[in-house]
């Protein structure tokens, strides 16, 4: 069922969540690094999921540490950039993303995280 | 068997909306579902519901009675979450004084979570959903799903979380704007008029 999920992403009223992400990143940069969102997969199995490191990455960007953000999760840059676009109200209502591109991005990010957590 | 007033497609007798186009089905005794405009002269707004998981594009945005978008739902969730989060923080702070106090607060947080889930089941709305003008209803009935199923729906959110929270993002691309818990429970969240903040459902 996930394979047939729409690649048309509904970006309507993402502005407030985007503000939350950007300012959440800035706030996290000033909090102890233990504050984050636990990954169920990593907690249960020790294996990171493709999205592990995103909180760390967004926190680094919130603190202005670009290289630290890339080291934690390159996808974080994309997410943060998308949030700023949405925050400025420049995001179109519908964004159509090709599924192969999405899949490749997620898989690349996953391999990155697997290496970062020394699973590969 | 009932027939769509928009496209004429046949649907199950107990469905409230057309599986083809999401249009309203001819009323056969069954009342108009909550959240749709009462007694409109034109075709009443439908949720833009579609069956299954893929195919048709995401439903268009519109006013009351339509499927709620992810951003609005997320803000509603954050309001509820903030309530419980503040309670938890109080618990952690009291935990430094006495472990027993923290356990009591933890139980209060758990009970509050269950209470919110039951509210969603009974009235279709939690405090955050009332503020944001959201209502959770069963696809087939158009009505809130009841306290028991509301509790089960909250449990079903585990499925949304266990896959690294991706299930919570499903309304971003799902054409019925459902989380996985919504799919499991056959519920959708629609737009209704906003209300003032209240912890308990208004009488």
- For A14, name the nearest residue in chain B, comparing CA atoms only: B71
Q: Read off the pLDDT of residues A42-73 as tens digits, 9 standing for 90 and up.
A: 888 889 999 999 999 999 999 999 999 999 99
Residue with tokens 């945005």: B61
From the number of C-beta atoms within 10 Å of its C-beta (0-12, 13-18, 19+), residue B129 rates as: buried
- For A2, name the nearest residue in chain B, comparing CA atoms only: B53
Tell whether A37 is covered by a domain: yes
Task: Compute the distance between CA of residue B91 and CA of residue B142 in angstroms, rounded to an integer.
Answer: 39
Percent of chain A with pLDDT over 90: 57
Instruction: Say what the pLDDT of residue B7 is.
Output: 54
Q: Determine the distance in angstroms separating the CA of B94 from the nearest CA of chain A, rounded to an integer.
A: 19
Nearest to B53 among A5, A8, A49 (CB): A5
DSSP letter, residue B200: S
CB atoms B164 and A50 under 8 Å? yes
Residue A83: which domain range? 9-116
Tell whether A2 is covered by a domain: no
Say how many CB pairs under 8 Å bridge A and B: 64
**CB B91, CB B106: distance < 8 Å:** yes
Classify the C-alpha dihedral A9-A11-A16-A21 as positive or negative.
Answer: positive
Percent of chain A with pLDDT over 70: 95
Higher pLDDT, B175 or A107: A107
- As for how many domains chain A has, the answer is 1
Tell whether A110 is covered by a domain: yes
Provide the pLDDT confidence category of residue A25 given band limits of 50, 70 and 90. Answer: very high
> Average model confidence (pLDDT) for chain A?
88
Tell whether A94 is covered by a domain: yes
Nearest to A6 among B58, B70, B165 (CB): B58
Residuewise pLDDT in 10s, chain B (203 residues) = 565 555 555 665 555 555 555 555 544 433 444 444 444 434 444 565 655 554 456 666 667 889 999 999 999 999 999 999 898 888 888 888 888 888 899 899 999 999 999 999 999 999 999 999 999 999 999 999 999 999 999 999 999 988 888 999 999 988 899 999 999 999 999 999 999 999 999 97
CB atoms B71 and A13 under 8 Å? yes
Instruction: Say what the pLDDT of residue B184 is.
Output: 95
Higher pLDDT, A34 or B15: A34
Tell whether A3 is covered by a domain: no
User: Full-prediction pTM beyond 0.90?
Assistant: no
Tell whether A1 is covered by a domain: no
Tell whether A4 is covered by a domain: no
Q: Determine the distance in angstroms separating the CA of A92 from the nearest CA of chain B, rounded to an integer.
A: 13
Q: Determine the distance in angstroms separating the CA of A68 from the nearest CA of chain B, rounded to an integer.
A: 22
Classify the C-alpha dihedral A65-A67-A73-A76 as positive or negative.
Answer: positive
B 115-154 residues inside an 8 A Cβ radius of A? none
**CB A82, CB A91: distance < 8 Å:** yes
CB atoms A5 and B57 under 8 Å? no
Does the beta carbon of A9 lie under 8 angstroms from any beta carbon of chain B? yes
Instruction: Say what the pLDDT of residue B137 is.
Output: 96
């Amino acid at each position: 069922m996930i394979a047939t999920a729409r690649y048309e992403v509904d970006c309507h009223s993402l502005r407030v969540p985007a503000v939350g992400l950007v300012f959440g990143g800035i706030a996290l940069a000033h909090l102890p690094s233990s504050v984050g969102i636990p990954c169920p997969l990593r907690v249960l199995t020790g294996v990171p999921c493709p999205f592990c490191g995103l909180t760390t990455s967004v926190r680094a960007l919130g603190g202005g540490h670009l290289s630290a953000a890339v080291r934690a999760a390159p996808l974080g840059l994309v997410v943060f950039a998308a949030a700023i676009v949405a925050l400025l109200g420049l995001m179109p209502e519908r964004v159509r993303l090709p599924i192969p591109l999405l899949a490749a991005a997620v898989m690349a990010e996953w391999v990155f995280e697997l290496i970062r957590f020394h699973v590969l | 068997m009932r027939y769509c007033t928009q496209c004429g497609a046949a649907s199950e007798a107990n469905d409230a909306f057309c599986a083809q186009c999401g249009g309203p089905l001819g009323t056969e005794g069954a009342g108009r579902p909550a959240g749709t405009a009462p007694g409109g002269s034109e075709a009443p707004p439908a949720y833009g519901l579609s069956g299954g998981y893929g195919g048709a594009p995401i439903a268009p945005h519109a006013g009351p009675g339509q499927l709620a978008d992810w951003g609005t739902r997320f803000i509603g969730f954050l309001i509820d979450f903030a309530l419980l989060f503040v309670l938890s923080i109080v618990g952690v702070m009291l935990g430094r004084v006495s472990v027993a106090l923290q356990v009591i607060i933890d139980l209060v947080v758990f009970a509050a979570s269950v209470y919110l889930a039951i509210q969603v089941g009974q009235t279709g709305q939690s405090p955050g959903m009332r503020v944001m003008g959201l209502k959770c209803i069963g696809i087939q009935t158009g009505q809130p799903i009841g306290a028991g199923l509301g509790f089960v729906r909250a449990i079903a959110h585990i499925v949304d979380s266990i896959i690294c929270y991706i299930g919570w993002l499903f309304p971003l691309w799902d054409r019925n704007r459902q989380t996985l818990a919504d799919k499991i429970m056959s519920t959708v969240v629609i737009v209704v008029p906003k209300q003032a903040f209240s912890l308990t459902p208004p009488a």
